[in-house]
Amino acid sequence: MTVCLFHLHAQDATKTLDDYLLVRFINSGGIEIGCANVPGKPPAMYRAPVSIPSPSAVILDSVPAYSWSFGCSNTAAAMAAGYYDNHGYPEIYTSITNDGMAPMDNILWGTVTINGETRNQCPISATMQGLDERMERGHVDDFWIQYRNYGPDPYLVNGWPRHADGDCTGDFMGTNQSVFGNADGNTRFFFLPDGNPLYDYTGNEPLHRDGCHGLRLFYESRGYEVMENYTQLIQGMYGNSIGFTFEQFKEEIDNGRPVILQLAGHSMLGFGYDAGNLVYLHDTWDHSVHSMTWGGSYAGMAQWGVTVVRLASDNPPPLADFSSNAVSLYTGQYVQFSDLSSYTPSAWEWTFEGGSPGNSTQQNPLVTYMNPGIYPVKLKASNPYGYDTEVKPAWINVMQPSCVKILEINLLLEGLYNPTLGEMNKALHDQGAVFPGTIADVITVCLSLPGEITNPVYCLENMPLHQNGLCTVYLPDSLSGSFYIKITHRNSLETWSSHPVNICSDSTSYDFTDHAGKAFGNNLKGVGNVFCLYSGDINQDGIIDSGDLIALDNAIQSFASGYLPEDINGDGMPDLEDLMIIEENAGFFVVKKVPE
């Protein structure tokens, strides 16, 4: 059980997150989580200056400006909900005011005085009996006594049934509700102090409700799917380097999504930006446009984070994500990146700090790193409806080979080999050579002990194979003994060394090119005076046959191009030249031969 202790501070004091930090704790999974209290209300003697956006500003249109209605967080959330109600999500507000469309301010709903306090009303933030002709009790009736009152809620004191969560953000966010430990005016938000986003947190239910999780429940109650929702510290808070940035805020606005800004003790709604890291916002205190500098303070309250909600739509922008087949590698090795973005991206912009290439527009690029270090990777995925960016800091760890053994392998790929030049051609795609320098293509090298062929002790993927046939493999110094060498390639037949190779010295070499007997079962093809790995096993099933011919024919018929398994000769275009190679090898019933 987590106990949250409140810290109260004067309205006009300079405030930081720590002033409203309820607790930091380690959950059962060993992850540190923070919990912030957000009790803000309009200051008695202050209103922020009105801002007039410049012509260069990017502003979302038709964003309501609601003044504080029984909590700042639920009011900020109500403004976002009102925006969506006017932009393709019409079931969010369905009552009688403004012909059933969320109005641009809450003046029409008037005010109400309760226990000597006059409050603005907004049924999207907090429902009330009689407001919008509501017949039954609502949020205010059941939960509100007086600002900062910690007592049991009216429905508990009076013993009447609590209304069902329904039409307002405050119901679902836990705002004002004593059963969640919230005083009147309060909402709480959980976050990760390391700067990562905390997605849809439910770990303290039913004792405490996370306001961000409540927003998911609210939108789902209106019949809409939530793609993702999270609260995140801004970059630099508590010294983190991975928090939410101004660039990410701009991205949300560019994609038509307002963002809840979390300040010390207060929530506001950001809906635009301008040069100089300027954020345009509604502060819940009036109906005007205001501004602040990203990461700065507003009326003496320092920004500490954001709460982001992304709703599904019929035409959503992508949700960027990616993976790679390795995150630790030696200098000179290649790593294959794979786009995992959802919602059908049609364009990709990769940034590889320290990598070669440093940028790529391919969907699944291959990248090498020549210098040791720890590097981030960034992917911006786009489609006609918007874009999304995923940054993974410290994703690639590149190590300098030291205290290692070197295995030098010589081999040639039939499809790429050019007898006239006596070396392999470089694999091509639509933009030219796939790999820099003298690298022709990449292969996978695995080592297996005799009798344990199916359980390799060491494998390295995407190893550079140079045009002269040389591939240099770095092995751990601790690796010692005799091993079969297995070579695989995107469209070549799996090939094994004819015998276990002794790897005990600092440097070992093995040449597949000078004799057919260097491969197990003499499984090499003579081309002139050298021997090559058979090409044409497109589907990698260990046999070159009709299945590979069908795959190639499909690629030809669809006019496919690029760095593809179907492109046997590496010219970037599956065609009849590739077909001739496969037909010849299929005619000889070529199959892989594996040691027992």
Supply the CATH number for residue 524's domain. Answer: 2.60.40.4130
Last residue of a domain, one of 311, 344, 365: 311
In a domain, 381, yes or no: yes
Question: Of all residues in the chain, what percent carry a pLDDT higher than 90?
Answer: 88
> Does one domain contain both 381 and 425?
no
Question: Are residue 67 and residue 185 in the same domain, yes or no?
Answer: yes
Compute CA distances 87 → 101, 314, 388, whole Å: 10, 12, 20
Is residue 431 located within the same domain as residue 383? no
- Are 139 and 272 contained in the same domain? yes
Tell me how far apart the alpha carbons of residues 484 and 487 are, in angstroms, rounded to a whole number. 10
Q: Is residue 592 part of a domain?
A: no
Query: Residue 389 domain-assigned?
Result: yes
Mean pLDDT of the chain: 94
The answer to whether residue 89 is domain-embedded is yes
pLDDT tens-digit profile of 370-426? 999 999 999 999 999 999 999 999 999 998 876 678 999 999 999 999 999 999 999
Does residue 569 sit within a domain? yes
| Same structural domain, 228 and 244 | yes
**Residue 536 in domain:** yes
**Residue 170 shares a structural domain with residue 283:** yes
pLDDT above 70 as % of the chain: 97
Instruction: Say if CB 448 and CB 457 are below 8 A apart.
Output: yes
Report whether pLDDT(3) > 80: no
pLDDT tens-place string over residues 270-310: 999 999 999 999 999 999 999 999 999 999 999 999 999 99
Q: What is the pLDDT of residue 12?
A: 47
Residue where one domain finishes, among candidates 367, 399, 431: 399
Q: How confident is the model at residue 13 (pLDDT cuts 50, 70, 90)?
A: low
Distance CA 94, CA 84 (A): 13
pLDDT per residue as tens digits for the range 111-131: 999 999 999 999 999 999 999
The predicted structure's pLDDT at residue 152: 97
Query: Is residue 162 domain-shared with residue 284, that is, in the same domain?
Result: yes
- DSSP-derived letter for residue 521 is G
- pLDDT at position 403: 63
Question: Considering 348, 371, 399, which residue would you say is the last residue of a domain?
Answer: 399
For residue 296, the model assigns a pLDDT of 96
User: Which residues are within 8 A (CB) of 439 and not within 5 positions of it... i.e. 6 or more apart?
Assistant: 426, 464, 465, 466, 467
Average pLDDT over residues 10-27: 83
On whether both 376 and 498 belong to a single domain, the answer is: no
Mean pLDDT over 63-82 rounds to: 98
Report the C-alpha gap between 382 and 149 in whole angstroms: 48
Of 136-150, 210-224, 399-413, 443-457, minimum mean pLDDT range:
399-413
**Co-location of 469 and 552 in the same domain:** yes
Residues 486 and 576 in one domain: yes
Are 585 and 431 a contacting pair, CB within 8 Å? no
Q: φ, ψ for residue 478 (rounded to 5)?
A: -75, -15
Q: What gap in Å lies between CA 571 and CA 558, rounded to an integer?
A: 17
Any domain includes 595: no
Range of the domain at 452: 404-587
* Pair (275, 380) in one structural domain: no
Mean pLDDT along residues 135-139:
97
Beta bridge partners of 280: 272, 291
CA 509/CA 487 separation, integer angstroms: 14
- Same domain for 446 and 555, yes or no, is yes
- On whether residue 499 sits in a domain, the answer given is yes
Tell me if 74 sits within 8 A of 82, measured CB to CB: no
Here the CATH number for the domain that contains residue 392 is 2.60.40.10
- Whether 2 shows a pLDDT value over 70: the answer reads no
Structurally, how many domains does the chain consist of?
A: 3
